[in-house]
Every structure is written in C-alpha cells, then in structure tokens.
Amino acid sequence: MATATAPPSTRWIGSRKLLNRGVSSLRTVPRRVVVQVKAGAYSDELVQTAKSIASPGRGILAIDESNATCGKRLASIGLDNTEENRQAYRQLLLTTPGLGEYISGAILFEETLYQSTVDGKKFVDCLYEGNIMPGIKVDKGLVPLPGSNNESWCQGLDGLASRCAEYYKQGARFAKWRTVVSIPCGPSALAVKEAAWGLARYAAIAQDNGLVPIVEPEILLDGDHPIERTLEVAEAVWAEVFYYLAENNVMFEGILLKPSMVTPGAEHEKRATPETIAKHTLAMLQRRVPPAVPGIMFLSGGQSEMEATLNLNAMNQSHNPWHVSFSYARALQNTVLKTWKGRPENVEAAQKALLARAKANSLAQLGRYSAEGESDDAQKGMFVKGYTY
C-alpha cells in the first residue's frame, strides 16, 4: 500500500532532503532565472543610496515602531502614549548632534516621516542636514496565514506603489518590509514561500518608485533549538528569497538585507559565543547572498545592547564581500530611554547615551569594538517571546 504524503504546504523545513522536496515541490515548472533587471529611471540613484547607507563605520537606527509599540517604550518610563510624547522622543533621537558620524540611515514610522520638531523643522530635513538618509516602514503588519501551522504572513502590497511614490516625495529614500519565520512552528514550506514572494514583490515595487528596499525575513529567536537548526532554516529561507527577488527582476545592487544573526533559540540550554555566532552567520551569508548586495544590516532581535555589538564585532574580524553592519532598534534605544525618563533636563544626557551606543556599533562594524566599561543595563537581554511591533 502506498504511503500518503503530506501536501507541500504542510511539510516542515527539516532535513536537507526535505529542504529540497518541501520548498521546491511547491513549483510545477522548472526553475529558470532570466537575467532581466529593471529598476527603471531610478537605477543610478538606488545604487548611490544603498552605497551611502552601507558606508564604513555606519549603520541604521530603526525607530519605525508602530504607534502602539512606541507606546510600550514610553510606558516603560511612565509616559502616556500621546503624539506629543512620541514627537518629543523622536526629536531627541533625530536631532542628536554628531549622530551622522555613526548612523547612515534612520527607518521611520509614517507618523514620524511627516512630523516636525517643536520649532517647526521637518524631521526629514534634520536627517539630511546630519548626513543621515531617511527611510520608511511600508508593510502593514503580520496576520495569520491560513493553511499554515499557526504562522504569519505580512500584508501591505495593496496600494504600495502609490504609498512609496508619496514617501519619496516626502524625502524618504529607502524602505523596510518585515516578515517573520518561526522555527517552533515548522516552519512550513507555505510560510517560507509566502515570506519570500511578499518580500520580492515589495522590493520590486519599492525600486520602481525610487526607494532602496531593505529585505527582512526575520527568523525569530523563539524556541529551544540549537544553532545548527537556525542555520539550516536560514539557508532555506534566503535561498527562497533570492530566487523570487531574481524572478521579480530586482536589482541586487540597489537593495539592503536585514537578516537575523544565526543564533541558538532563546530558550536553548547553551548560549553561543560571539565567535560561534559569527562563524555560522557568515557561513549562511557566504552560501546564499550574492556579493552584488552592498549591505547586510543585521537586526538585534531582542539581544542585549552589548551582545548585539559583540556579535557584530566578531563578524567583522575578517574580510567580507559586503558591508556587514547594524540596523538596531532596542539595542540602540534601551539605555537612551532609561536615561531620558521623559524629562527635558535629561535630553542632553540621553543623546550622549545614544551617541555612545552608536559609536560602539560603529567600532563593531570596523571590527574594533571592546566591551570594556559597558554598563549593567547594556548587558541585560531584551528578548520577548512572541514579540510583535
């Protein structure tokens, strides 16, 4: 009697054998990549923007949390979630003197892109004057993926072209779209394909409207799996992502990646050293990412401030064909928030705290960071199980 097999959409990404069967079996036609890159009238500008962001010793400040998540940040220091308080916090960050020495781009939420300082100066103009490229979060968040193992897909393709065109007029020059893959949930071949296809369509639309797309399939830290399992899944996910990027004629020289570092699950019994994380992460990049991609801007994913910096530093101890840097949110803001506390008299001290963290990660991008003198707060982990924003 023949043994029934699970439909492709419910197969897990598991062994090497299943990697080949589970994902590729979703397709009924042979893989044929046609080299026909179309970035339109913005080709040269996209390349220059990507190179500017991926410049030596600099990385990205991600402050694109939704208003609800920004409210959680403010609540942690006893502030109400009002537009006035959100504006005050964004102003503290974006007007920090000298920030452009270490930060090349800032990812904003839509509200922030259109906001100004209390003196009426547009935040976008503040960034340009500081030699920082404005970016914008363009996805519409995660929703349940029907037919999957309790997994998610990212919405936001409807109306994306017109939104990107408006964001470009407002001064944004790059975009960010985050989707997630959960290892404890499988991940299913369906979820991986959906993540890769959505990212590829977004990237093509963003480039067509002058925005450099940050491609971010975040492999969540949730789980008790070993680092080898994370590497296996990461390789499968990035293989799928680049296949669909090519199918959608995305110009690789005009994109940036925002991958997770390859680490054990947050609940794994044994923590990995920065050297081990660097070894596995670079192995994944070398196997899956073309050298045409200018910048790899890692997310911190709930690591402590110091941990994220140490891991980045370890990855820059050897030559890489890409600019290996950071696109951190919590790992740049945690100490800043605790220093500020919502009080005007603490703004200068909080800005100095931001500069200190930005400089630490700048040194890590250059492979010259030392953890000597780091505070206790910088060493506290920030992992939240099932984290959303």
Q: Which residues are catalytic?
A: 216, 258
Return the CA Rg of the chain.
20
Q: 258 with 302: CB under 8 angstroms?
A: no
The continuous run of DSSP H or E covering 21 comes out as helix 16-24
DSSP label of 261: P
Residue with tokens 């296809």: 197
- Cβ proximity of 135 and 170 under 8 Å: no
User: Euclidean distance between the first and final Cα of the chain, in Å?
Assistant: 49
- DSSP, collapsed to helix, strand or coil, labels residue 135 as strand
CB 136 within 8 A of CB 175: yes
d(CA 341, CA 269): 35
Instruction: Tell whether omega for the bond before 226 is within 30 degrees of 0, i.e. cis.
Output: no
Alpha carbon distance 210, 189 (integer Å):
32
Distance, in Å, from the CA atom of 212 to the CA atom of 204, rounded to the nearest integer, reads 10
Tokens coding 377 = 């707060």
Q: % helix / strand / coil in the chain, to the nearest 5?
A: 45, 15, 40
Q: In this structure, is the dihedral angle defined by the CA atoms of residues 179, 181, 185 and 187, taken in order, positive or negative?
A: positive
CA dist 286 and 354 (Å) reads 32
Alpha-carbon span 4 to 77, nearest angstrom: 56
